[in-house]
Amino acid sequence: MTAQVSSDKRSAVSRLWNDKESRSVMIQVITIGALFALFFYLGVNAYLNLKAIGKDLSFEFLWQPASYDINQTLIEYTSRSTHFRAMIVGLLNTLLVAVAGIMLATILGFIVGVLRLTKNWLVNRIAYCYVEALRNVPLLLWILLIHGVVVGTLPAVRDALGLGDIFFLSNRGLYAPSATFEPLFLATVIAFIAGIVFSIWFKRRAKKIQEETGRILPVLWTVLAAILLFPIVVFLVTGLPVQWSIPELKGFNFAGGFSIKPEFLALWLALSIYTSAFIAEIVRSGILAVAHGQTEAAGALGLRTNRTLQLIVVPQALRVIVPPLTSQYLNLTKNSSLAIAIGYMDIVATIGGISLNQTGREMECMALVLIIYLSFSLSISMFMNWYNKRIKLVER
């Protein structure tokens, strides 16, 4: 009787295993269980090893004074601030260079990608050399080279290049006026937001009217008036509610205004230019993926080349461009960790560098850095996946 029950159990398991869907579920359950077991083992092992050398897992060090300076801060920070505030400063610096780099790399990449397809032989070859020269040299070398050029070729502070006694460029960075906003400036901000909301509504309304009647409304000029002209009028009516601080040379450096450090400039340019080479090839392949008959049909309708590219080619090419473009945005964000090579104080240099060395909390610091970069990457992926779904081809 026992042998029969055992045989029935084996046959039931065999039937489940031979069923394709059941086998797929079983493999996934086993894999997830194995991964959880591995992470549990690694966690317990790390805890026991730390305990053996007299350490514990604690994040109390975040509230202790950091006792080091940071050369570029977007929020108030002194050497007496906590490690937590130093981490926030590093996080904002990382976010700043990542966002600025993504914007510039996208613009350069699209321009070079389009130029790679031009029939002008000289422009085509220049774009080709740009792409091949950049993407075949390690990024770290470009960062060091551009940093050396910025620091080595720009003049000293006393001989800074000036523009109207307002902007100054030297080997210590770019100095520009800083603004202090008065309470009435809130009206300008509200006007700008209202202009954006109105522009979105008007664009959708104009598209609907065009589809129903064929009448084309002046969308571009209306949007520009709503987003730019209306806030400017409000800004002037409220009495220019902004106070400006102009940089002035005092002693060995400039005082007043704000400065963009050469480390940021070098890292921003290196990341943007390097990544733009890869984006250019993605854009080129996306445009080539659009059937040539689309371009011929646009030409038959009398559309100019630039309008054909804007209205027909690029919207269809985006469905091919966006997925690999996401990977380049992720790479740029993660590559910003090379900032430590030129002294730019990002999240790796602050909490993952100086704070780690001062406190000896390597597990905690590295866990925080890992979580921050993971959050950045997941946020970028989530946004790009949302955008990709919006532009995908909907079959009827």
Joined tokens for residue 388: 């990709």
Residue 360 has, within 13 A of its CA and on its CB side, a CA count of 5
Joined tokens for residue 370: 């890992």
One-letter amino acid for residue 361 of the chain? R
DSSP per-residue string spanning 233-252: HHHHHTT--EEEE--EEETT
Contacts 24+ apart (CB under 8 A), 198-203: 198/226, 199/223, 199/226, 199/227, 202/226
- Out of 50-59, 237-246, 339-348, the most confident range is 339-348
According to the CATH classification, is domain 83-154+262-391 in 3.40.50.700?
A: no
- Out of 327-336, 341-350, 357-366, the most confident range is 327-336
| pLDDT, tens only, 159-203 | 777 777 778 888 888 888 877 788 888 888 898 999 899 989 988
Question: Cα(350)–Cα(336) distance, rounded to whole angstroms?
Answer: 13
Question: Residue 13: pLDDT band by 50, 70, 90 thresholds?
Answer: low
Is residue 81 within 8 Å of 65, Cβ to Cβ? yes
Pick from 316, 323, 331: nearest CA to 373 = 331
Question: Cα(389)–Cα(322) distance, rounded to whole angstroms?
Answer: 10
Report the percentage of the chain scoring pLDDT > 70.
95
What are the boundaries of each domain within the chain?
2-52, 83-154+262-391
pLDDT at 12: 66
- 8-state DSSP, 351: I
Mean pLDDT of 234-244: 84
178-181 and 242-245 beta bridge pairing: antiparallel
Is a pLDDT exceeding 70 seen at residue 135? Answer: yes
Is a pLDDT exceeding 60 seen at residue 97? Answer: yes
Is a pLDDT exceeding 80 seen at residue 138? Answer: yes
- 8-state DSSP, 392: S
pLDDT at 278: 94
Q: How large is the greatest C-alpha to C-alpha distance in the chain, in angstroms?
A: 99
Joined tokens for residue 67: 């006792």
Structure-token match 């613009």, residue found: 107
| pLDDT, tens only, 300-342 | 777 777 777 777 777 888 888 888 999 999 999 999 999 888 8
pLDDT at 394: 57
Is residue 133 within 8 Å of 302, Cβ to Cβ? no
Question: Cα(396)–Cα(158) distance, rounded to whole angstroms?
Answer: 67
Joined tokens for residue 2: 């026992």
User: What Cα–Cα distance (Å) separates residue 333 from each residue in 34, 210, 350?
Assistant: 31, 41, 17
Is residue 154 within 8 Å of 219, Cβ to Cβ? no
- When computed from its CA atoms, the radius of gyration of the chain, rounded to whole angstroms, is 28
CA angle 46, 49, 54 (to 5 degrees): 125
Is residue 331 within 8 Å of 102, Cβ to Cβ? no
| Higher per-residue confidence, 97 vs 238 | 97
Question: Cα(143)–Cα(271) distance, rounded to whole angstroms?
Answer: 8
pLDDT at 100: 93
In this structure, the number of other CB atoms found within 10 A of the CB of residue 55 comes to 14
pLDDT at 334: 92
Question: Cα(25)–Cα(109) distance, rounded to whole angstroms?
Answer: 43
